[in-house]
Amino acid sequence: MNNAFCLPLTFNLMLYISIEVCTIPNIDNGRVNTSSKDLYKPGEQISVSCDNNYEPLSSSSTCQDSRTWAPQLECTHVTCFVPPVTNGHYTWNLQPVSVGHMMPHGSSIQLNCADCFTSSSMTPNTCQENRTWSQPAQRCISTTCSALPPNFTNGNYNFNDPSQTFQCNQTIKPLCYEGFYLQNGGDRQCTSLNVWSGELPVCSSITCSSPSNFSHGSYHHSQTLYGYGRTLEPTCDKGYYIANNVTERVCEQKDTWSGETPVCLKIQCSRPQVENGRLLSNADVYNFSMQITIECNKGYQIKDGEYTRTCQTDGTWGSRQLQCDKIICSNTSEVAHDAIVAYPTLAFGEVHEVTVDTSFYVLTNGSSVVNCSWDGSLKWISQPTFGIEKQCLWNDIYYSLINHWFSRAYHIILCFV
């Protein structure tokens, strides 16, 4: 601005002198701190006061020879830079704001922490007049749980050291004691500072309803509800057996029995093979309690004399042998003679010599060999003839008079050489 003043001088002459001065500037959102003075010479200073929420760019300004003020007087908004934060971010009016963004005085920003972190203070952070934040130390801290959730009846959590610190998202499992099951509740997770997800577990007594019935058998039970560990033994009806080896069932979990449903099938015996004999029936399979009859080939017999067998509960024909053995010949009537003193023990089809008393008899014809016949009797291979080896004077007379049952000792006495 060019300010000129006209001053009167003597000699009736008018001189014009130009003086460089600065006028008071207009300042938006503020005012100059001054007296009634309106003009300032170069080198003079002024200060400025700003309205609320504004601040001067400089505390004072100096009038320059160029009739301007330096530095420039201006009131600007008071602002705060959004501070950096680890493991989180700030929002303003629910919208995210970037680190370093300038927020006007009075603005409040909210710290939002990432998962597994929580804010050190839930109070909003406000930009103050001095360009600082109301909570300069606000930060996101790691979430932990310093203790287990409350205890529950008939169970505990799967940790041996209940005093340990648990990290965010760390999961613990409730375990019921033996004989109890988890009726309510489940895994619990550390979600924020000393806060666990889920609800208090409930462990109730394990019981089992009666197992389902099965064909051709029963458990012989009369109860409708059984306690934990109760054992039931299945039994098949007569003539049936448990085919899937289920000998017992135990109440293990709520309405859960061990094993599978028993399967009862008919007891059956397969057709046996009879050595040296045959069956008097043509069936291939026989049900429990059915009988078979064995017929042996000629010259063979069942040792115990029992020619029938019964299908047993274990699907066998019993422990006795199913075979026909050779007959042992015990009938000597067809080869009886005074000359024979011993007979061999022979089985069907075998042959052997008999023992002849050679002191008195001599084989004059045929053979002394016998064989065992299919009917159990000893028979000659070739009919023999025995003669008396030694004679005496009285032999013929006394022999006809003495019965055969007299011993040979008397015969010797009566015999004269």
For the domain made up of 268-326, the CATH class stated in words is mainly beta
Q: What is the pLDDT along the chain (417 residues), one digit of tens a residue?
A: 344 333 444 444 444 455 678 988 888 888 888 767 888 999 999 888 888 888 888 888 999 999 999 998 888 888 899 999 999 999 999 999 999 998 988 899 999 999 888 898 889 999 998 889 999 889 999 888 888 899 999 999 988 776 788 988 999 999 999 999 999 999 999 988 888 999 999 999 999 999 989 999 999 877 889 999 999 999 999 999 999 999 999 999 999 999 999 999 999 999 999 999 999 988 999 999 999 999 999 999 998 889 999 999 889 998 888 889 999 999 999 999 999 999 999 999 999 999 999 888 999 999 999 999 999 999 999 999 999 865 543 444 444 444 444 444 444 444 433
Q: Is 408 helix (H, G, I), strand (E, B) or coil?
A: helix
Phi first, then psi: give them for residue 401, nearest 5 degrees. -90, -30
Question: What local confidence, expressed as pLDDT, does residue 225 receive?
Answer: 92
Peptide bond into 124 cis (omega under 30): no
Question: What local confidence, expressed as pLDDT, does residue 287 receive?
Answer: 94
Strand order in the sheet with 95-97: 95-97, 88-92, 108-113, 125-126
All residues at 6 or more sequence positions from 327 whose CB lies less than 8 Å from its CB, including other chains? 299, 300, 301, 347, 348, 372, 374, 375, 376
**Tokens, residue 131:** 């360009």
Are the folds of 144-205 and 209-264 the same? yes
- Specify the pTM: 0.50
For the domain made up of 144-205, the CATH class stated in words is mainly beta
Question: What local confidence, expressed as pLDDT, does residue 164 receive?
Answer: 80
Q: Residue 308, Cα to own-chain centre: how many angstroms?
A: 52
- Cα distances from 95 to residues 101, 116, 134, 268, 293, in angstroms, run 13, 21, 20, 83, 99
Question: What CATH number does the domain located at 79-142 have?
Answer: 2.10.70.10
Q: Is 413 helix (H, G, I), strand (E, B) or coil?
A: helix
All residues at 6 or more sequence positions from 52 whose CB lies less than 8 Å from its CB, including other chains? none
Where in the chain are the domains?
20-77, 79-142, 144-205, 209-264, 268-326, 333-411
Question: What local confidence, expressed as pLDDT, does residue 255 receive?
Answer: 92
Question: What local confidence, expressed as pLDDT, does residue 162 receive?
Answer: 67
**Tokens, residue 342:** 């011993």
All residues at 6 or more sequence positions from 317 whose CB lies less than 8 Å from its CB, including other chains? 269, 272, 292, 309, 310, 311
Paired strand residues for 40: 22
Please state which of the four CATH numbers 3.40.50.1000, 3.40.980.10, 2.10.70.10, 3.40.47.10 is assigned to the domain occupying 209-264. Answer: 2.10.70.10
Q: Is 396 helix (H, G, I), strand (E, B) or coil?
A: helix
Superfamily of domain 20-77: Complement Module, domain 1 (2.10.70.10)
**Tokens, residue 278:** 């045959």
Length of the chain equals 417
* Number of alpha carbons in the 13 Å side-chain half-sphere of residue 166: 26
Q: Do the beta carbons of residue 52 and residue 78 sit within 8 Å?
A: no
